[in-house]
Structure 1
């Protein structure tokens, strides 16, 4: 049986007055991390998961966070994970 390990990075444009709150909310999303933030209210966010659906759910959660103006996918990588079946 195989699964995929997926990682994406997003550039997220935040409303200035909500940036701190947005960073805190993104940190609560499964697999998500705010890597850095710029002075012009852009956040670099990574989302990791063991399925495409998990990553898509994370992206959707970021997009629905109050104060997020937009997000753009900057990177996507998929690596197969091999799991051993019980013998």
Structure 2
């Protein structure tokens, strides 16, 4: 059986006064990781998901966080993954 592995990177533009709460909220989203940008309010975020629809769902969830001004998908890569028997 095969699945997929999706790796995406985003820039999340946020209100400066809401950055810390956004970073905290992002840590609760499965597969999301913040890699920097808190000092400028332009967070660099990666997503690791199993499907393309999960990428879209998580981007939508991020966009709806209080204080997020915009979320831009910068990179998306996927490839098949074979499960070990």
Q: Which has the larger radius of gyration?
A: 1
**Total equivalences in the alignment:** 85
Q: CA deviation at 1:38?
A: 4.8
Q: Which moved more, 1:6-15 or 1:45-54?
A: 45-54
Separation of aligned partners in 1, 2:58 and 2:75: 14
**Which runs of no fewer than 5 residues in structure 1 stay unpaired?**
none
Give the corresponding residue for 2:4.
Answer: 4
8 Å contact kept, 2:35–2:44: yes
Task: Show CA shifts across 1:2-58 (max 9, x none).
Answer: 211001000110001100000000110011011111532100011101111222221
Q: What is the RMSD of the two structures over their aligned residues, measured on CA atoms?
A: 1.4
8 Å contact kept, 2:19–2:38: no
8 Å contact kept, 1:47–1:59: no
Give the corresponding residue for 1:19.
Answer: 19
- Runs of 4+ aligned structure 1 residues displaced above 4 Å come to none
